Chains A and B, each alone.
Chain A
């Protein structure tokens, strides 16, 4: 079984106050779910990431993947989900075929939630979305998915694209059975990409809501409780 997991690096300061580089939580959860299947069935998990060369530090030594490929080039900047999908599809064409392509459902920065859908369509693959649990039965991938207030059990024959919600990530231990030893770097020349088309241009960003950010001062828990109750009563 060959699985490809697509990891998005986050270095944006709202998602991480200390500015530490992290992997998008739902992507990391998806990687580990793929690793669990491969651990039982045997095979490989290849982690793909788009970003500059400093992101190799996130991939080197990464648990849950047998191989890591950093898609890095100076033209891979200011990407939107459509240009990212172009890079991913080019990288997949350079790799041996995969049975499972696994993504996080959406990232905490742009929150478009488009990428897995675009890739699935570009590769003409079935797509199981909003999965919270995933397992393998013979040639099929089966998932528990949450769509609104309904829970579905869905299955599709491999190769398949799965996008996962990280709602069950809490308390889960990563798969320590395999680890990335070396990070390969693929550039635009290797991928055969000359130019990338960007369809979404961000003009500006602003805070959605400005909160008051007032600290409640208290000398006893009774006082704190009373102040909280007063705020509730005011509403």
Chain B
């Protein structure tokens, strides 16, 4: 099988290369695709140390920053010249976008949010998140196909004594039809939220800013990070939101206060060990997807929780 891999981010691409070089069979041919100007030359040189057959460096100055059409067209040029049975892309939002547009350009299949895959009799069997992460679907597809992974974990990989071949593919590209006028950092807390062990996530039913203040005080006592769902983002209480379409939580415990049963939100908690829902409405879908839940007056509870936390965490 001819396998190729790519990611918009070097750290992800390196992890994908390590994973694939470890998993590949003797008969498999593994090529790593890298864009010159997007990654520096030393990074590309580093990729050659892994057990890949070839590193193909695609060269055009327009690949210096992410552009959906330019990236799609560059990978399509790779396909024209080298072909592949399977293209594995990383887990970034950009990788998913490229997988989608490229599949349409090449007229082949693509699957996003892949948790695992195996090859059986020329068919690819993929497990992926379905229903915003609440379900896992097993999907069968034929080659050639594009898979974008849901997560890429780092693993050890042997380095080769002689570096893999490097080929440079110079391609023409048109200037992007989508122009970036401005770009700014939205949130400084992304890593903090993703790495937090205890999360307090608030939702629509927490109305008052004074309650938000009390929640922050409780969080400080118990060592939690406070986040919000989409409704809190819309209220401009936070610069990020917990959702399958936003930040996905992988905490030890998440205390969900006043959030509703939005499937996009619930799916984001799939990676969290224990979920406690505290809400006023008994019928929300959220209760069904909790480990523990209580129907209560959350406004009263927010106040009492702070007082008791102060006492218990003394």
- The answer to whether A40 has its CB under 8 Å from any CB of chain B is no
State the total of A-B contacts with C-beta under 8 angstroms.
244
A222 within 8 A of B: yes
**C-alpha gap A111/B140 in the complex (Å):** 17
- How far apart sit A228 and B211, CA to CA, in the bound complex (Å)? 18
B2 CB to closest chain A CB, in angstroms? 19
Give A121 to B134 CA distance when docked, in angstroms: 30
- Inter-chain contact A156/B288, CB cutoff 8 Å: no
Which A residues lie within 8 Å of B49 (CB)? none
Question: Are A113 and B112 interface neighbours, CB within 8 A?
Answer: yes
Is the pair B139, A200 in contact by a Cβ cutoff of 8 Å?
yes
Contact with A along B241-276 (1 / 0, CB 8 A): 101111000001101000001011001001001111
The residues in A between 128 and 176 inclusive whose CB is less than 8 angstroms from any CB of B are: 128-130, 142, 146-157, 165-171
| Cβ contacts under 8 Å, B263 to chain A | 14-15, 108
Whether A207 and B135, one on each chain, are in contact in the complex, defined by CB atoms closer than 8 angstroms, is yes
Assembled-state Cα–Cα distance A109/B305 (Å): 36
- Check B180–A170 contact: CB distance below 8 A: no
* Chain A residues, CB < 8 A from B243: 167
Which residues does B use to contact A, with CB under 8 Å? 68-69, 72, 92-94, 96-97, 99-101, 103-105, 108-113, 125, 129-142, 176-188, 190, 197-198, 204, 222, 224, 230-231, 233-235, 240-241, 243-246, 252-253, 255, 261, 263-264, 267, 270, 273-276, 278, 283, 285, 287-294, 296-297, 300-301, 304-305, 307-309, 312-313
Q: Which of A120, A142, A212, A213 lies in contact with B101, CB distance below 8 A?
A: A120
Q: Taking the nearest CB of chain B, how far is it from the CB of A84, in angstroms? A: 12
Q: How many residues of A sit at the interface, in one of the four size bands?
A: 35 or more
A194 within 8 A of B: no
Chain A residues, Cβ within 8 Å of B246: 167
| A235 CB-CB contact with B under 8 Å | yes
Q: Which residue of B lies closest to A146 (CB)?
A: B186
5 residue pairs bridging A and B, Cβ less than 8 Å apart: A154-B181, A165-B245, A167-B246, A204-B138, A208-B136
- Report if A205-B135 is in contact (Cβ < 8 Å); known contacts: A214-B292, A228-B278, A231-B276: yes
Separation of A215 and B69 alpha carbons in the complex (Å): 50
Q: Do B274 and A235 have beta carbons less than 8 Å apart?
A: yes
Q: How far is the CA of A14 from the CA of B93 in the complex (A)?
A: 25
In Å, the complex CA distance between A152 and B68 comes to: 14
Per the bound structure, the CA–CA distance linking A233 and B69 in Å amounts to: 49
Chain B interface SS verdict (over half): mixed
B266 to chain A, nearest CB (A): 9
Whether the Cβ atoms of B230 and A211 lie closer than 8 Å is no
For B267, what are the chain A residues with a Cβ–Cβ distance below 8 Å? 111
Among A129, A200, A222, A226, contact of B141 (Cβ-Cβ < 8 Å): A200
Q: Is A85 an interface residue (CB 8 A)?
A: yes
In the complex, the answer to whether A207 meets B125 with C-beta atoms within 8 Å is no
Min CB gap A185→B, angstroms: 27
**Chain A, Cβ-Cβ closest to B92:** A148
Q: Report B-chain residues with C-beta under 8 Å of the C-beta of A228.
A: 255, 276, 278, 294, 305
Complex partner residue of A118 from B100, B140, B176, CB under 8 angstroms? B100
Nearest CB on B from A226, distance (A) = 6
- Nearest B residue to A140 via CB reads B179
List residues of chain B with CB within 8 A of the CB of A235.
Answer: 197-198, 252-253, 273-274
Contact indicator B186/A167 (Cβ below 8 Å): no
Chain B CB within 8 A of A199 CB? yes
Q: Across the interface, which residues of B come within 8 angstroms of A14, CB to CB?
A: 131, 134-135, 263, 285
Contacts of A105 in B (CB 8 A): 245
Within the complex, which residue of A112, A120, A209, A215 is in contact with B112, where a contact is CB–CB below 8 Å?
A112
Which residues of A are found within 8 Å of B179, using beta-carbon distances? 154-156
